[in-house]
Amino acid sequence: MTILSRELRKKLSATFSIRSLQLIDRQECFEDACENPTEKILLKLPDDEMIESVLIASSDRMTACVSSQVGCPLQCPFCATGKMGFQRNLSAGEITGQIYALNDMVSAKKSGNKVTNIVFMGMGEPFLNTDNVLEAIDTLSTKNYRFCLSQKKITISTVGVIPEIQRLAKSGMKTKLAVSLHAATQQKRESLMPIAARQYPLKELGKSLSEYTALTGMPVTIVYMLLKGINDSLDDAKMLARFARTFLCKINLIDYNSIINIKFKPVYSTTRDMFQQHLLMSGLHVTVRKSYGTTINAACGQLATTATMNCNNL
């Protein structure tokens, strides 16, 4: 940029950096009846830490599932990222850089195609890195900036970090909220998500979600992963219905995606149908989310950079 003075250029390069994340690996798999593959992408950050992201194609959208942290400190026992431990938060620039990198891959395959939706469901708990996540969303959704995506096309998925749910509600942002519940009793939730559930008890979480929906007028998506013999009984469904009836929400049932050396098992489809049926009969809006990318370990709970996984001997 020779139109700038040498002195200013020196100052700019000492203060800022323009670095893209480096593509290290890319794996793909084809889902039934979908002509575009699900892709898992390994990216290297400027300090050599690695993150994984996933591109999920469907007939009318291209969703980028992105990471907000390297690893995760919350150690949910069913999750491969939790097994990695926590390295650090991503900066706002690294989060936007991750999405730019994914978008470049999408448009390189077919000109004119782009990322249409973003979900913060990759590695890490976004609400333990809220400043950077919200700054990135602001950049990505600002008119006349490069990306300019509606905030309604962006979802933050949290385990239920109550103060940050309140912060999002008051922020005026139109970003959608998903909460990983996985159990509707305090005791069971503590066994599945010990750190998060103890710090943010179910009763207070329910209250904060009622306040969130009252303030924003937007529903919350309750994500419930069915685990065989653990949270899949009729009683579990009844408890979930009781919890979910107190605020505006839809429930997303997801299957457990197996991870090597972890004891949990997915439910049979008949159990899932019974569970869903009970929730529907209770007047709730329920969908079953299809898992994408299980064969390349790209589905929910399966993300973990291989180098760290090997270190932890998973």
Question: Among this protein's residues, is 7 annotated catalytic?
Answer: no
Q: Facing residues of 42 across strands?
A: 25, 52
Shortest distance (Å) from residue 75 CB to ligand SF4: 6
Chain-centroid distance of CA 313 in Å reads 25
Burial tier of 270 (Cβ tally within 10 Å: 0-12, 13-18, 19+)? exposed
Given the residues 72, 76, 249, 300, select the one marked as catalytic. Answer: 300
Shortest distance (Å) from residue 78 CB to ligand SF4: 7
Given the residues 52, 94, 125, 164, select the one marked as catalytic. Answer: 52
Gyration radius from the chain CA atoms: 20
**141 versus 294: smaller Cβ distance to ligand SF4:** 294
Give 222's contacts (C-beta < 8 A, 6+ positions apart).
Answer: 178, 179, 181, 240, 244, 249, 250, 251, 252
* Contact call for residue 160 and ligand SF4 (CB under 6 A): no
**133 versus 284: smaller Cβ distance to ligand SF4:** 133
Comparing every residue's Cβ against ligand SF4, the nearest one is 82
Q: Which stretch binds ligand SF4 (CB under 6 A): 1-9, 51-59, 70-78, 281-289?
A: 70-78
What single-letter amino acid sits at 19? R
Annotate 248-296 with DSSP letters as a single string.
Answer: SEEEEEEE----TT----PPPHHHHHHHHHHHHHTT-EEEEEPP--GGG
Please give the residues from 119 up to 138 whose contact with ligand SF4 meets the rule CB under 6 A.
124-125
Question: Among this protein's residues, is 148 annotated catalytic?
Answer: no
Q: Which stretch binds ligand SF4 (CB under 6 A): 67-75, 108-116, 231-239, 274-282?
A: 67-75
Number of residues binding to ligand SF4, judged by CB under 6 A: 10
CB-CB contact of 274 with 234 (8 Å): yes
- Alpha carbons 254 and 267: distance in angstroms, whole number: 10
- Alpha carbons 299 and 80: distance in angstroms, whole number: 11
Among 21, 57, 62, 79, binds ligand SF4 (CB under 6 A): 79
Among 41, 54, 133, 159, binds ligand SF4 (CB under 6 A): 159
* Contact call for residue 76 and ligand SF4 (CB under 6 A): yes
Q: Which stretch binds ligand SF4 (CB under 6 A): 68-76, 90-98, 220-228, 253-261?
A: 68-76
| Token output for 115 | 């990322």
Shortest distance (Å) from residue 182 CB to ligand SF4: 9
Which parts of this chain interact with ligand SF4 (CB under 6 A)? 72, 74-76, 79, 81-82, 124-125, 159
The residues assigned a catalytic role are 52, 300
